[in-house]
């Protein structure tokens, strides 16, 4: 491996000294690396699923066009992950003037420090190398962020120690944006940034100058700017000033997974399910029920669509479900962890904390809505996998007074004996392929799925304690009774 040049003279004689590379901007660098990656097979950004035909082509177009861009989408739509993945389009390392706070290009320095050093040392100017990970700067925009945070401020102590006037550029303590020079600067939740700070932002990115404490400073920064925003914040809580919005080249709208299968792939990738205590065996229909909870919530009119239902919800639900099943396996000394529908009910805290309710939802309550979402998700999963199967014998048994409660802590073989009491239940589970005949643990999970689907269709009932029984008749209302119980 060839040693990297350590002085400006050696750098000029290296491949980095070629004019096409020496003066290449970060946007040109990303464009060239993206073109090379497009020629190869494989995903552009590792770990980002479901955007291959929608969001990714727009991001590619923005980078090829050398645009600053904004990702506009609800929470939990991988906006920050996409921005962090852009680092992969940068070179492995980049030469800078050693000691420069703002990654000065040795062939085109912009800070007074770097210019003075090159003037004094010439070809002996020391060169340092910066890795791609250190060229990414990320900031969460909040109303209290100031120009000093983003652009910089005068440092009286530095002025005193160096014997400089306060108007001297050498007294500046640079902010985050100049420190991202020749790299990526990502600003999350852009509308939360105060208007006067946004003005300073676009002035630097376009005109290349800024006033710090009344002193004009030229900072022709070379930076790829990326922003994120929530549509609700975009128009309500905050606002992007028109000149800045006009300077953002591309506005790219993200979205939640368009299919349950895509959502399951994301949850499978992100959720922590591998446990060191025992082997986890996740029934595929349980994973589908967990994913469908989010899909049901996104279409529920009692849940605020402006806030959205984050993709983090099925991920955290999955982790809670596995943890509850792990607790049961430890208590019963089972050799493996096999989640059930009852474990999803134990994960209610991972659901209620992820949904914002409308007024109508507040009247019902988060836990009640979460239970309903679980039942609807179970029914949708059952219909997808075994729709049309005859369940009349199961319903009739409960209608005739049958009741069943299998303890959440029951071992798989013991729980299966409880479900054997319900006529035709095991035949349905095995005949539809929900579970193999010889797999007690999966059969128990599948039996709970069938019963939950019947609860969702109000064919049988389920108490909060987990007892299944005959369907509860709908309360009859007087003809003139309104929705709030008044006559």
CA 65 from centroid of its chain's CA atoms: 26
Which pTM value belongs to this model?
Answer: 0.86
- What band does 484 get if pLDDT is binned at 50, 70 and 90? very low
Same domain (yes/no): 368, 248? no
**Is residue 406 pLDDT above 90, yes or no?**
no
- Tell me the C-alpha distance between 167 and 165, whole Å: 5
Highest mean pLDDT among 117-131, 157-171, 207-221: 117-131
Q: Phi first, then psi: what are they for 7, rounded to 5°?
A: -130, 165
Same domain (yes/no): 330, 235? no
Query: Which of 222, 253, 284 lies at the terminal end of a domain, its last residue?
Result: 253
Q: Which domain holds residue 369?
A: 260-470
pLDDT mean across residues, the chain = 89
Decide if 477 is inside a domain: no
- What band does 231 get if pLDDT is binned at 50, 70 and 90? confident
**Is residue 233 pLDDT above 70, yes or no?**
no
Same domain (yes/no): 333, 447? yes
Q: What local confidence, expressed as pLDDT, does residue 475 receive?
A: 58
Q: What local confidence, expressed as pLDDT, does residue 245 receive?
A: 87
CA 344 from centroid of its chain's CA atoms: 22
Same domain (yes/no): 186, 130? yes
Q: What local confidence, expressed as pLDDT, does residue 156 receive?
A: 75
| CA dist 174 → 102, 108, 154, 241, 480 (Å) | 8, 18, 9, 24, 71
Same domain (yes/no): 372, 229? no
Lowest mean pLDDT among 1-10, 336-345, 413-422, 439-448: 1-10
Lowest mean pLDDT among 80-89, 367-376, 460-469: 460-469
**Is residue 77 pLDDT above 80, yes or no?**
yes
Q: Mean pLDDT, to the nearest integer, of 342-346?
A: 95
Same domain (yes/no): 199, 277? no
Tell me the β-bridge partners of 216.
211
Half-sphere exposure of residue 230, counting CA atoms within 13 Å on the CB side?
Answer: 19
Same domain (yes/no): 312, 238? no
Same domain (yes/no): 186, 270? no
Same domain (yes/no): 447, 316? yes
Q: What local confidence, expressed as pLDDT, does residue 171 receive?
A: 80
**Is residue 373 pLDDT above 90, yes or no?**
yes
Q: What local confidence, expressed as pLDDT, does residue 230 receive?
A: 85
Q: Phi first, then psi: what are they for 187, rounded to 5°?
A: -120, 110
- Tell me the C-alpha distance between 74 and 80, whole Å: 12
Q: What local confidence, expressed as pLDDT, does residue 465 receive?
A: 83
- Tell me the C-alpha distance between 106 and 226, whole Å: 25
Domain count, the chain: 2
**Is residue 485 pLDDT above 60, yes or no?**
no
CATH number at residue 246: 3.40.50.300
Decide if 486 is inside a domain: no
Same domain (yes/no): 215, 288? no
**Is residue 461 pLDDT above 60, yes or no?**
yes
Same domain (yes/no): 337, 415? yes
Decide if 238 is inside a domain: yes
CB within 8 Å of 173: residues ≥ 6 apart = 152, 153, 154, 155, 158
Q: Mean pLDDT, to the nearest integer, of 329-355?
A: 94
Q: What local confidence, expressed as pLDDT, does residue 482 receive?
A: 46
Query: Which of 253, 286, 315 lies at the terminal end of a domain, its last residue?
Result: 253
Query: Which of 237, 253, 269 lies at the terminal end of a domain, its last residue?
Result: 253
Decide if 297 is inside a domain: yes
Same domain (yes/no): 157, 303? no
Q: Which is higher by pLDDT, 202 or 326?
A: 326
């Amino acid at each position: 491996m060839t040693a990297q040049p350590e002085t400006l003279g050696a750098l000029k004689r290296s491949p980095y000294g070629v004019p096409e590379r020496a003066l290449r901007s970060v946007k040109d660098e990303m464009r060239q690396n993206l073109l090379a990656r497009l020629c190869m097979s494989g995903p552009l950004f590792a770990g980002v699923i479901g955007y291959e035909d929608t969001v990714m082509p727009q991001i590619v177009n923005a980078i090829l066009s050398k645009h600053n861009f904004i990702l506009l989408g609800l929470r939990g739509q991988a906006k920050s992950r996409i921005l962090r993945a852009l680092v992969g389009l940068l070179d492995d390392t980049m030469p800078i003037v050693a000691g420069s706070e703002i990654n000065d290009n040795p062939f085109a320095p912009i800070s007074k420090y770097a210019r003075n050093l090159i003037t004094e040392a010439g070809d002996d100017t020391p060169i340092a190398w910066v890795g791609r990970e250190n060229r990414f700067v990320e900031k969460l925009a909040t109303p209290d962020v100031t120009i000093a945070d983003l652009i910089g401020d005068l440092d009286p102590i530095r002025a005193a120690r160096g014997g400089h006037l306060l108007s001297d550029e050498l007294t500046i303590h640079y902010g985050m944006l100049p420190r991202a020079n020749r790299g990526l600067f990502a600003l999350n939740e852009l509308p939360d940034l105060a208007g006067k700070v946004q003005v300073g932002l676009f002035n630097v990115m376009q005109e290349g100058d800024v006033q710090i404490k009344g002193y004009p400073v030229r900072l022709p920064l070379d930076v790829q700017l990326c922003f994120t925003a929530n549509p609700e914040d975009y128009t309500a809580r905050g606002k992007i000033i028109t000149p800045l919005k006009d300077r953002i080249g591309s506005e790219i709208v993200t979205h939640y997974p368009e299919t349950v299968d895509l959502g399951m792939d994301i949850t499978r990738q992100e959720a922590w399910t591998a446990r060191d205590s025992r082997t986890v065996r996740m029934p595929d229909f349980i994973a589908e029920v967990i994913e469908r909870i989010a899909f049901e919530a996104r279409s529920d009119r009692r849940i605020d669509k402006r806030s959205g239902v984050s993709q983090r919800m099925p991920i955290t639900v999955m982790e809670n479900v596995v943890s509850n099943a792990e607790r049961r396996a430890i208590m019963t000394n089972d050799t493996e962890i096999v989640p059930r529908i009852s474990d999803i009910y134990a994960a209610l805290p991972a659901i209620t904390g992820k949904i914002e309710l409308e007024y109508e939802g507040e009247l019902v309550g988060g836990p009640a809505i979460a239970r309903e979402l679980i039942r609807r998700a179970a029914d949708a999963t059952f219909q997808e996998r075994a729709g049309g199967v005859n369940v009349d014998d199961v319903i009739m048994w409960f209608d005739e007074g049958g009741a069943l409660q299998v303890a959440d802590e029951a071992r798989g073989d013991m729980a299966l004996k409880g479900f054997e009491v319900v006529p035709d239940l095991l035949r349905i589970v095995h005949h539809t392929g929900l579970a193999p005949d010889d797999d007690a643990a999966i059969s128990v999970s599948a039996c709970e799925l069938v019963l939950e689907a019947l609860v969702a269709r109000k064919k049988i009932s389920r108490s909060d304690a987990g007892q299944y029984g005959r369907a509860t008749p709908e309360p009859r209302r007087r003809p003139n009774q309104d929705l709030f119980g008044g006559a």
